[in-house]
């Protein structure tokens, strides 16, 4: 499974990229607004930090403007994946950009039917929002399971399932178990994945015993 970081905060991206565990980054208009910076500057800087796909979302809702914005974003760097919403205009934009060889991430997916449309439109990634489904009393992971199962029946579709709206480490574990290709998560969730009280307790015991030997490896 690939790990993407869902943020536009360059400091967090730079720190986590140094671990070697980050395969890409996803952003959206809300994250860009939170950063307080200009989208073109932010995306270009992120692309220079992480060589994998960097999702940059269009801000328009009509086809002509979406396509123009998508093409401008794609020209920033070769690893930009243009992000479009799962609307008729968004899917039309996805098809046009995909036909031009641009990777497209279709976002705000909440049903398997929508995921089928995205795959047919040539999306490189489909982003089902598991956390938001959980918020309204549905099981977001059921959607991941459905999409993965459907895509497996059609190997000609190259769309990767990108589990989004990840809220906690168990979302990542379950998405991996179900076969999602990617999980995109806030920096805080990736950091939580390191943590286990028994790891801390075991390391403390090892360090205590080692100190008693008076040895040094170096």
Of the listed 2, 34, 38, 83, which one is catalytic? 83
Which of these, 111, 142, 107, lies nearest to 126 by C-alpha position?
Answer: 107
**Residues 189/167, Cβ–Cβ less than 8 Å:** yes
DSSP 159: P
**Cα 163 to Cα 167: distance, rounded to the nearest angstrom:** 11
Beta bridge partners of residue 128, listed in sequence order: 109
**Cα 136 to Cα 159: distance, rounded to the nearest angstrom:** 27
What the block records as the tokens of 78 is 């070769």
What the block records as the tokens of 99 is 């036909």
Q: What is the largest CA-CA distance in the chain?
A: 71
Cα separations in angstroms, 180 against 34, 142, 148, 161, 187: 28, 12, 7, 5, 19
Which of these, 113, 169, 111, lies nearest to 143 by C-alpha position?
Answer: 111
Residue 120 among the catalytic residues: no
Secondary element (H or E) of residue 81: strand 80-85
Active site residues: 83
């Amino acid at each position: 499974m690939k790990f993407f970081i869902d943020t536009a905060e360059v400091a967090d991206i730079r720190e986590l990229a140094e671990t070697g565990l980050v395969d890409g980054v996803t952003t959206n208009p809300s994250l860009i607004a939170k950063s307080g910076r200009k989208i073109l500057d932010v995306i270009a800087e992120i692309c220079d930090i992480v060589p994998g796909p960097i999702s940059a979302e269009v801000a328009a809702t009509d086809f002509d403007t979406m396509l123009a914005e998508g093409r401008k974003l794609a020209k920033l760097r070769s690893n930009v994946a243009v992000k479009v919403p799962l609307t008729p205009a968004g899917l039309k934009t996805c098809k046009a950009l995909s036909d031009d060889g641009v990777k497209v991430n279709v976002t705000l997916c909440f049903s398997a039917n929508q995921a089928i449309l995205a795959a047919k439109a040539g999306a490189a990634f489909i982003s089902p929002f598991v956390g938001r489904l959980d918020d309204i009393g549905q099981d977001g992971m059921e959607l991941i399971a459905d999409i993965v199962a459907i895509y497996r029946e059609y190997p000609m579709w190259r769309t990767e399932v990108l589990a989004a709206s990840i809220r906690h480490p168990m979302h990542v574990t379950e998405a991996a178990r179900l076969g999602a290709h990617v999980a995109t998560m806030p920096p805080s969730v990736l950091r939580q994945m390191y943590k286990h009280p028994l790891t801390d307790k075991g390391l403390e015991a090892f360090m205590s015993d080692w100190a008693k030997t008076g040895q040094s490896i170096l």
